[in-house]
Amino acid sequence: MKKVFYLLLIGGAMLICPHQSKADPYYLVRTIKHKGQLSPRPNKAPSRPLCIDITANVITVPENVVGYMLTLSNEEESYTYYITGTTLFIPQVISGVYELAITNGSVSYQGDVEI
């Protein structure tokens, strides 16, 4: 009976206390370049932003952007990576605030991130 009580107590504490993630979520805004149209028609609903996580020098992206190009740039330097998986390891020398862009032809996600 004592074990059951402790299991219920610990299980309840785990449900009440939220799991703290060390990753910082960032939301990138999507833009689309329309080829051949003079003025693109507005969407009926705003597009959902892309959510990425950054922990130290590891960027985690959703599976739907595998195959896209990721560009990190600031006033002094620019880095471009081809996304081959959902986890991207960037060099330790990259730190600070960067403009991050994930692009694939006509679709682009952009936002400012701190690494």
What are the residue ranges spanned by the domains of the chain? Answer: 22-114
Asked which of 15-19, 40-44, 70-74 is least confident by mean pLDDT, the reply is 15-19
pLDDT over 70 (residue 60): yes
pTM reported for the whole predicted model: 0.67
Of 50, 61, 49, the C-alpha closest to 89 is 61
The yes-or-no verdict on residue 15 having pLDDT over 90 is no
Q: What is the pLDDT of residue 20?
A: 44
Exposure string for 62-85, b = 16+ CB within 10 A, e = fewer: eeebeebebbbeeeeeeeeeebee
**CA 30 to CA 28: how far, in whole Å?**
7
